[in-house]
Structure formats: C-alpha cells, structure tokens
Amino acid sequence: MYFVMEAPNVNKFNTVDTYLGHVKDMHKSLMFTPEATRGDAFVWPADLADSRLRVLKEKVKQWFKETPQEEGGRLPFTPSLLKEMVDKGAIDVNSYDGRRVFCLILMTILGGFRMGELLPLTKDPTKRKTDKDCKIEHVHFARDTITVQVLGKTTTNFESVNIHTSEMLHLVELFGPIFDVASMLKSITANRRDDELIFVREDGSPFTYNYFMSLLRDATDFMNIPRGHFGGHSGRIYLASLLALQGVDDSYIQTRGRWKSKAFKMYVRSLDKRKFRSQPEIKYFKLSNLNFVLKGFPMSPEFQKAQ
C-alpha cells in the first residue's frame, strides 16, 4: 500500500482500493484451488472487523482526503525547467551527450516532435525500420523556420515539422543563447554525410530512445524530481498547453502537433490563467503555474507556488 500511495498518478483513494481488490481476487483464486479446499475458507483480512488492513485502509482514505494531491501524471517539459537543469549541472551542455539531450528536449518543446520520431529504438539496423530513421538530409534551415522531415506515428509518408525562429528567439531572449536550437543543430550536423542519423553517440553508434531516457532519468534523479513524470512526449505536452494558454484555435493546435483527432486535448494541462492577466503576450509558463500540487518536488520557483 505504501508503494501504491507513492506511485506517480495515484492521487485518490479509489486507486488504492481498486488495487487491493485485485490483490484480494488473486488471493482467492489461489486459495480455492483443489489443493487448498481441505483448509478453512479463505477470508480476506480487510473483511474482518478488527483487521489491521481495514484500519490501515481507513487511515489511508483519511490521508487522501486531508492531504493535497498531485495531479496531471506526465508533466510538460518547460523551458525554465530545462534552464534550471543546466544551471544546476543535471544536464551538461558542454558534454557530447548532454548537448544532444538538451537539443532533443528543446526540439520537442518548440516543434512538438515525438521523441520516437527523432531517435531509433535500437542500434541494430536489422531489427528496426530504417526507413523511419531521422537523418541529416531530413533537416532544412531557412530564415524563418527549421524544417525536419519525420515519418509520422500513423502514416507511411514523411511529414514536415517546423520550428519557428521567432518562437526560438523568444526563449533565447528569456533564457540565453543556449536556447538557439538552430545553431546547436547546425553544429551537430556539420561536416557529416547526409545519410547519417542526426543524433549519434560519440562512438558513432545510434543515439537510441532508451539511451535518451536513461540520461533523462539520471538528470531528473540529480534534481531530486520524483520519477515517472517526464518522458519522450513531455515536450509535446508543453507545446499543446502553451498554445491553449495563448488562446489559439483547437484546429491550429491539432495541426501543429499533427494529431489526427481531438486526442491533443489530453495533452493540455490545466493552468492558472490568472497568473498571466497582466502579460500582453504569453511566451512560456512554469510548472508552478499549473493548477495542481506537485508533491515531493524540489523547493524551487519552478515547482513551488508563490505564497
């Protein structure tokens, strides 16, 4: 019960109660096998009036009622969190791997990429669909946009994903030159063959999705951020939430993120719009602007609401 209560996304007693119901059913199915019928009938401990499990369930129910709970599950990866990770050394943009992790997260924030579109799932080309590989030849730089061709999740054709220079420059102005993803991508792809993967490790092997996730997990652990809240779609969650906060049409959000249905609404996190009433143009938001409690997160302005 302790581990269930501390797990990400568990924010109401019903979840714990349902879990215990599954455990009860499993116990019953095991106890009522032919080999077990000679013993006493199985009695689930929580069904007894003086059961310690029943007492604990009541205490847990009371705890959920009285304690503010986190919500939202997977969280958006905000630019300010990314900057804080760099400032505190969780991501070293001067290292080979750290620079690529930073670039990948920034691309998902600005372009709404799925991380699996940018990175292969395995190093072995015989075990992956190499036609999905995102290569240097798929990146095109223009004055107003960076365009990357990716094979979409539900299509067999390449789709164009745009990073708008104007939006990038907003972040450069707010957080510094490391947010110039155009310069970063140009340096990563410079003097390399067009048919190479954009993101490779220092030894030239593919920079895989699992490797990215291991580095991201190390970074969040370094920051003492509870596990399970950030992943390959966290940048898409940020982009969808920001666009919704800016008040653009649903059709634009759907097109920008290349959603084929209204499923993008599941990505929009609840924000306290009152925090932004004095801002003529909303350029970004922090995790502390979300309309729910972040339990167990570091004591920093990114996570903690102002008193």
- Give pLDDT, residue 165: 95
**Residue 201, pLDDT above cutoff 70:** yes
**Average per-residue pLDDT for the chain:** 85
- pLDDT, mean of residues 268-297: 82
Q: Who's near 199: CB < 8 A, 6+ residues apart? A: 100, 103, 104, 118, 119, 134, 188, 206, 207
Confidence of residue 33 (pLDDT cuts 50, 70, 90): low
Q: Residues of the chain with pLDDT > 70: what percent? A: 85
Quote the tokens at residue 283.
Answer: 């350029």
Domain boundaries, the chain: 2-66, 79-289
CA dihedral (192, 197, 202, 205) positive or negative: negative
- Give pLDDT, residue 259: 87
- Give pLDDT, residue 132: 87
Percentages helix, strand, coil for the chain (3-state, rounded to 5) are 50, 10, 40
- The class of domain 79-289 in CATH terms is mainly alpha
Q: Who's near 252: CB < 8 A, 6+ residues apart? A: 243
CA atoms within 13 A on the CB side of 61: 10
Q: Residues of the chain with pLDDT > 90: what percent? A: 52
With both helix axes pointing from N to C terminus, report the angle between 165-175 and 181-189 in degrees, rounded to the nearest 10. 110
- pLDDT, mean of residues 233-257: 93
Q: Minimal CA–CA distance to 87: which of 97, 76, 98?
A: 98
- Give pLDDT, residue 39: 59
Give the lowest-confidence range in 74-83, 86-95, 297-306.
297-306
Confidence of residue 72 (pLDDT cuts 50, 70, 90): very low
Quote the tokens at residue 17.
Answer: 């109660």
pLDDT digits (tens, 9 = 90+) for 101-116: 999 999 999 999 999 9
Q: Who's near 197: CB < 8 A, 6+ residues apart? A: 120, 133, 134, 135, 136, 206, 207
Question: At 25, which helix (H) or strand (E)?
Answer: helix 13-31
The DSSP code sequence of 94-159 is TSHHHHHHHHHHHHHHHH---HHHHS-S-S-GGGS-GGG--BGGGEEE-SSEEEEEEE-SS-SSEE
Place of tokens 């990429």: 113
Confidence of residue 176 (pLDDT cuts 50, 70, 90): very high
Residue 210: count of CB within 10 angstroms of its CB: 12
